[in-house]
Amino acid sequence: MRWKFALILVIFMFLISLGLVYAFLAGEPSHDIEKNYGSGDFLKGWINISLENENSGSEFKLNGNTISLIELLNLNSLDNTDYNCTPTDCKKDYSGSAGVVTKTRDINQQGVLIGLKLQGKITGINSFKFDVSSNAGKSCLTPLEIIFPETSWSFNNYSADFTCAQARGECFSSSTEEINVDTKLRCEKINLEKKSAYQIGAWIRKKNNANLTAGLYDLSLEKVEDCKLPDALVSGGEVGCKINEVEAGEYYICISANINSNYTMKYEQTGDKCGFYDAEQFTGEYVIDYDVFAKAAAYSEPGTFTFDNSKLGEDTSLEE
């Protein structure tokens, strides 16, 4: 059992040892012990300490007297609003009850704790497998996470719905001016959240036939991933293509063509600037801005699937 609390402990004859067998942090003020006693009086006073991740069975000892942490809490009339235990009853382990082969639980954002009772002599578990069924719909947040003692797994199957979170170039405002897209990268800084998939792209107008690429680069201009953009409209508009899971952070979205095309994208050179042209000549100075975007995908419905130990420590994506 692990627990965490920060409180003032009222102590009697058990508590005057300043050499406890485990570490603690003294509060401020740290203690107040009465110095004068009559014949037969108990030691009186208090100490103020904070403990974290200690067993409820850990012991305080003084002159041959012993008391456990949980007993001490109970003697001081404290309850679990003053500290947190796992399990919640502060016992050393869990006990099984009302066991069934299939269990249905309503899961909220706080989650639920599910235990398995194993009978017989167990020397180790080499593999496991169980079925999961969920009626959750599409979501902008991870709909399901399974946490084990040493690791965790998150549902990572995304849909084709790119409407969850939209990021724009950090400095571009509302210019309608247009500039040609050619073989050199036209890049704009953008700040992204961690998501399972993004659609990245820019406002682009078609002028001739060319193949355009959108790329995501880190701030060292190392390519994270790129994708081929679909054809733009002659009247202009947003076009984007999909890239896979992205960690949170600042990046560049860069647009380029396979030839020196007459395709155009919106740009501006006024106000704050967060973009540049031609990565090979980039000196770190931002001189231009482009109308680029990134749209996050919604997670798809979890539905029914089988979960086993192969999902842990490996590629846990459930992409369709």
Per-residue model confidence as pLDDT tens digits over 153-166: 888 888 889 988 88
Of how many residues is the chain composed? 320
pLDDT in tens, 59-75: 877 777 888 888 877 77
Please determine, for residue 19, whether its predicted confidence score (pLDDT) is greater than 60: no
Pair 192, 245: CB distance under 8 Å: no
Q: Where are the domains of the chain?
A: 2-86, 166-296
Instruction: Give 26's pLDDT tier (boundaries 50, 70, 90).
Output: low
Spatial separation of the C-alpha atoms in residues 181 and 13, rounded to whole Å: 82
Fold of 166-296: Jelly Rolls (2.60.120)
Task: Name which of 185, 175, 293, 178 is nearest 236 in CA terms.
Answer: 178
pLDDT confidence tier of residue 312, bands split at 50, 70 and 90 = confident
Share of the chain above pLDDT 70, in %: 85
Per DSSP, the three-state class of 134 is coil
Q: What is the mean pLDDT of the chain?
A: 81
* CA 73 – CA 9 distance, rounded (Å): 8
Joined tokens for residue 117: 């009772």
What is the mean pLDDT of the segment spanning 30-59? 78
pLDDT over 70 at 319, yes or no: no
CA torsion sign, 130 to 136 to 138 to 143?
A: negative
pLDDT band at 190 (very low <50, low <70, confident <90, very high): very high
Q: Which amino acid is at 6?
A: A
CB 231 within 8 A of CB 206: yes
